[in-house]
Structure 1
């Protein structure tokens, strides 16, 4: 995403928080690697929106630099400021139920996009569905509310390029190919291309008549490959090239995203609007910005079945200072981060009872009921 901002949108790298991008990536998206061949120019914003949706992250501009924030708990070493009724200006607090706008108890993530240019369900070869049956029951919400994510970046298969045939670039292999080594065959006289999937049979040749995109099938037409051909660069003689297809992490990524969204939205998520004094606009030597986390304790959050909030963790979605009134207008959304989260500690660290406060910032294996040293234990995010 940082590359798109700098090289596609032309934003000066000095205005992009590259260190922050790397920290969020390494902390929360380790192992999330997407490989995709882009076959036609589109708005850079479209790619950014897709990647944000599929990684549950946000690109934020705070007036100084563009940064990235993954929707995740604070790291163990990050302090979260608490805002109370002393922080919130009297009479400014309002609360809106999210029972319609932010309530989903069924999440569908489509992935393995076929790169056809379409956006229908049949253009995706795989899907993961996460369901919270309890919230659909009559005893709770008695309804099904579905959120759909159509991922163009998550893939079950990765593939190599056909180095032995110049002028060709693979941009999609169907899930039906499976893993293994397939082969592309080019007939230099007839100018045709054919495909044999791993362990399959060579399919019918396709004539390459002009620059562009082609779909080439194995004898089993569920096993196909899509390529871009540059006619002037193709070989003059016959050629063949292996395409190594390996397993990707598409299913793992899709399942993780679906479960995180379900955990967050299975109950309605409320949004809050209020004002704070300008003197509260900074914390830990920097200005607050959208995507910051705050713990909110206020008796103003009553109604809608609530008696008030005690350290309810919010994510700021809008921060609008008004220097003429010396006030800052805040909009925020509940995160549902009610539990205790941490990174797993390195091997050899003290058990929980003997661990220092610094060491307890890391995760420990809990006992019955996830109890750790008599306290609520740590949970996997």
Structure 2
């Protein structure tokens, strides 16, 4: 058994100095959800607050302590930008949080799915959204993006076409909903699905990214509907988000891994369909991959999934002047079923939820 110490900065190592267990390595936490498809059909009356909080019901309890964690919410039938958009709503929620000094000692942001795109836009436009005074108080040590959809997903392309009636898709959708007992008219508002289209997402707040490490967690598992969605998405995916997005790649290619020297299942080998460090978005760093974990298992109380770490042959990522530490315990297995080739796994990850792996890796 070995311990890998990956130094992205020194600031996250304060947890060993007696800070509260509920914090993530001594830092307060902001959680932000992903896309909720029910909002497209049934617009929430509370701007999605109840759903946004419930989204994290299965996440690690230590990362939801109300003393050290704030949950940001948004409705999926809204667009990302604009006066009444998602980013503006998040900014309104952040105002009292930041005024209280919640992030004065820096925060760690944890996103899932579309939360990646939302926070990329908010952090890139914090001065205009919050005003310069409050924007200076939004101090972020790192963003941990689980199944990040910042690069968009072909599933959104398909969904928008469906709603817009391409190949009679809207009529098919309406007929299906009527069969299920719902009376939904044509002209459904696709909301943030428009922003999640690959061409749109990849032109949203990608220039002059703030020098904040975006630590990427990606997977290729299947939801119960994976057999239907996998063929729609380019390359390997988690049934919703493709690896090209989850890894943080600056291009939307058909990827097999986030790094070139390790497969998603942990096998140590060369992978041709993977980005080099220079082909990732600025400050985007893959850290964890899982072959079997599906999209909506990331934030859930789900165990039994092996995980591996993604290093791309380097033990150091330089993220501007920022410093954050990641301490991972791992082991190697020389698998008899694969001609005794080397596989690397995060130790005991298969007996933990993703939230617990995150908590343990930053202590």
TM-score calculated relative to the size of structure 2: 0.26
Q: Which has the higher helix share?
A: 2
User: Which is higher, the Rg of structure 1 or of structure 2?
Assistant: 1
**Higher relative contact order, chain-length normalized (CA < 8 Å, sep 6+):** 2
TM-score calculated relative to the size of structure 1: 0.25
